[in-house]
Structure 1
């Protein structure tokens, strides 16, 4: 009989693959058909962008906390779980899988999603000569819908606002990646502690 912990590990890895592949294709597209990720995805590094990302990420955490509290009251506590949260809810996980999930939620997913939504997509909208505000609105909406969690779409819209503002203000991707990492840190840490049995769900 298969070990339930192994099943959870396989499901988690399978849920990570599409996002990582999509980000890889985004980067590859800029290399093959464009000017490379530094130019096309605005992936330049500046310490000032890190500071903007930290500020907006922390503001986003506060906004997300309030929005999530209101949203869970509206939809009910039993429905107030993300797709990854429902995978680990009450299930035992090997330590290695829990750590990989934490690193994915807190670091890899934010980087990959920013490359896709506020890198490739944002740049494509700007190349159509639409305004940066149009890029902000469309990338935010598509980010929320792209998680394929209809019940959480309204909450994801709120979560995406400070992350999108980081890209809008600086014109570069570093700030939005940092804001996204900050925003995902507490949920990722919570999943890790629950998975390791340190905290109750």
Structure 2
């Protein structure tokens, strides 16, 4: 059973459809959320934002749609998410994922320190989430849990799942796929000042996917990479 689960999940002729469905849902959700809240928060002081409480979790809805697109298309056009992407981690997925995640953390630390010296006083999306939560433990805990587990799953389904298999279907070399998915991963975060760091992290996380042929390993690597940011978000 373990050997069967360890098999490379291969290619998908519907990969680009799944990728653009997820990415399109993400941007549509952002537009809808912006349109729905623009007037309501037009006069809010950004230096003293309101505490949104449970509404804070809506911030993560676009991210959920990143992974929902590939899952839905996999159900309808493929053999199901676990069969197509290899989502249930094996021992090998865990070992490779933890090692790759550690490498991603190291890259983030080294390049992050360098980039902060070049561009100091840069805030991150985590700071905004913490401000909107008003320091409420329950909302910070929910947000931190999503950063640690939810975001890695949805983002990996999109990049190292749907996009990777779409490119593999057209027989693009694996190293090129690794680089392209890392580029998409970096720009997906929309933090231009640390694109270089995100690209390096994407290479490390994607290496897990390339070694095992399964998305589960890159999810483990991504979650490992996100552990410290999640802890920082919760503890402040």
TM-score (norm 1): 0.86
Segment of structure 1 superposing worse, 116-125 or 40-49: 40-49
Alignment of 1:135-150 (within 5 A): 135-150=177-192
Q: Is 1:110–1:177's contact at 8 Å kept on the other side of the alignment?
A: yes
Alignment of 1:96-175 (within 5 A): 96-175=138-217
CA shift at 1:74, angstroms? 1.0
Per the alignment, residue 63 of structure 1 pairs with: 107
Per the alignment, residue 225 of structure 2 pairs with: 183
User: Residues 5 and 103 from structure 1, CA distance in 2 versus in 1: closer, same or farther, beyond 3 angstroms?
Assistant: farther
Segment of structure 1 superposing worse, 179-188 or 58-67: 58-67
CA distances 1:99-139 after superposition (whole Å, capped 9, x unpaired): 00110111111111111110111111111221222221111
Segment of structure 1 superposing worse, 44-53 or 103-112: 44-53
Question: Residue 30 of structure 1 is aligned with which of 71, 74, 84?
Answer: 74
Q: Is 2:164–2:177's contact at 8 Å kept on the other side of the alignment?
A: yes
Give the whole-Å Cα distance in 2 for the aligned partners of 1:118 and 1:73: 31
CA shift at 1:170, angstroms? 1.0
Alignment of 1:81-92 (within 5 A): 81-89=123-131, 92=134
Give the whole-Å Cα distance in 2 for the aligned partners of 1:190 and 1:72: 17
Q: Is 1:144–1:153's contact at 8 Å kept on the other side of the alignment?
A: yes
Q: Is 1:105–1:188's contact at 8 Å kept on the other side of the alignment?
A: yes
CA shift at 1:9, angstroms? 5.0
Q: Is 1:88–1:191's contact at 8 Å kept on the other side of the alignment?
A: yes
Count of residues paired in the alignment: 190
CA shift at 1:69, angstroms? 0.7
Gap runs ≥5 in structure 1: 195-201
CA shift at 1:146, angstroms? 1.3
CA distances 1:76-98 after superposition (whole Å, capped 9, x unpaired): 1x11x322333325972211101
Give the whole-Å Cα distance in 2 for the aligned partners of 1:126 and 1:39: 16
Give the whole-Å Cα distance in 2 for the aligned partners of 1:63 and 1:4: 33
- Write out the 4+ residue segments of structure 1 that deviate beyond 6 Å after TM superposition: none
CA shift at 1:15, angstroms? 2.1
Question: Residue 54 of structure 1 is aligned with which of 64, 79, 98?
Answer: 98
Segment of structure 1 superposing worse, 46-55 or 150-159: 150-159
